[in-house]
Amino acid sequence: MAAPTPPTAQPVQLASLDDREFRRLSAFIERELGIRMPDTKRVMLESRLQKRLRLHGFGTFREYVDYVFSEQGSRTEMINMIDAVTTNKTDFFREADHFEFLQSRVLPRMAESRPGTTLNFWSAGCSTGEEPYTLAMVLEDSRSRLPRMDYRILATDISTRVLDSAQRAIYDLEKADPIPYEFKKRFLLRSKDRERGEVRIRPELRSKVEFRRVNFMDDTYPVPSGFDTVFCRNVIIYFDRHTQERILGHICAHIRPGGWLFIGHSETLTGMDLPLHSAAPTIYQRE
């Protein structure tokens, strides 16, 4: 039987996501992405995928799902489906106490014990880039007081769409509201067209961040070992408990002894067997 192909895009009347197609999609999402997809998320999944149906001109979810899992769709549409269903909520200076702890407690200790070393940071689940660029601002600011410190940041996500956005580093002006005024002056460029209301991260800061696609459900992660600090915040909340522990175990394997892990304020490691000890709420040090 020939694989279905998308018809020419045209206005369509979309049907609902029925039980069969929801089970096919939710099973794949849970197995391959680790994201829990109970029936309560059916409406969310349907609404996020409707744009993909419209784009391809499919009139039913069955046609779309058949295409996604066909040989051609697996090559061309699967990644777009994954992008559509993954959650990407983030802000500059989100959970700001983490950055205060980093700047006041972690960085001076690292700079004193390892002078002249390039420190390596990982923003694991970076979304559209606000977290790694916040991290870069804080690190760059610390260099004025710790002149022998240098740094590099790896930022990863499963979504190619958000990684593309992060690499552009262009944000609506209101997105920059949480950034301190002095940092705005130092690290942001205002669009010459003031009507657009956009800012861009300065190139010298962008050059410190490398973006890469990583799926936390893979058995190995294509990232180096020996990170000094990993920010994996508000990411594991979307996974079941067993998967959370497995992912964090993989991440810990990439943190050097004595390095740091920051998780989200709504997340907990209680009961997990990990080589970490608590230094502060949601802040851990690698044993």
Q: What is the pLDDT of residues 92-126, one digit of tens each?
A: 999 999 999 999 999 999 988 888 889 999 999 99
With tokens 């067209």, the residue in question is 193
pLDDT digits (tens, 9 = 90+) for 216-274: 989 999 999 999 999 999 988 878 889 999 999 999 999 999 999 999 998 999 999 99
Domain at 19-85: CATH architecture: Orthogonal Bundle (1.10)
Q: Which of 157, 206, 233, 286 is catalytic?
A: 157
Q: Which of 18, 24, 36, 48 is catalytic?
A: 48
The CA–CA distances, whole Å, from 264 to 20, 204, 230, 254 equal 35, 28, 12, 19
Q: Are strands 255-263 and 283-286 parallel, antiparallel or unpaired?
A: antiparallel
Residue 73 has pLDDT above 50, yes or no: yes
Q: Where are the alpha helices (DSSP H) in 157-254?
A: 160-168, 181-187, 203-206, 241-252
Predicted local distance difference test score (pLDDT) of residue 7: 54
Predicted local distance difference test score (pLDDT) of residue 15: 61
What residue ranges do the domains of the chain occupy? 19-85, 96-286
Q: Cβ distance 17 to 45 under 8 Å? A: yes
pLDDT digits (tens, 9 = 90+) for 131-173: 999 999 999 999 988 878 999 999 999 988 899 999 999 999 9
**246 is a catalytic site residue:** no
CATH number of 96-286: 3.40.50.150
> In this structure, what DSSP letter does residue 223 have?
S
pTM above 0.85, yes or no: no
Q: Cβ distance 244 to 236 under 8 Å? A: yes
The partner residues of 278 in beta bridges, in order of sequence, read 284
CA proximity to 255, closest of 236, 284, 281, 229:
229
**18 is a catalytic site residue:** no
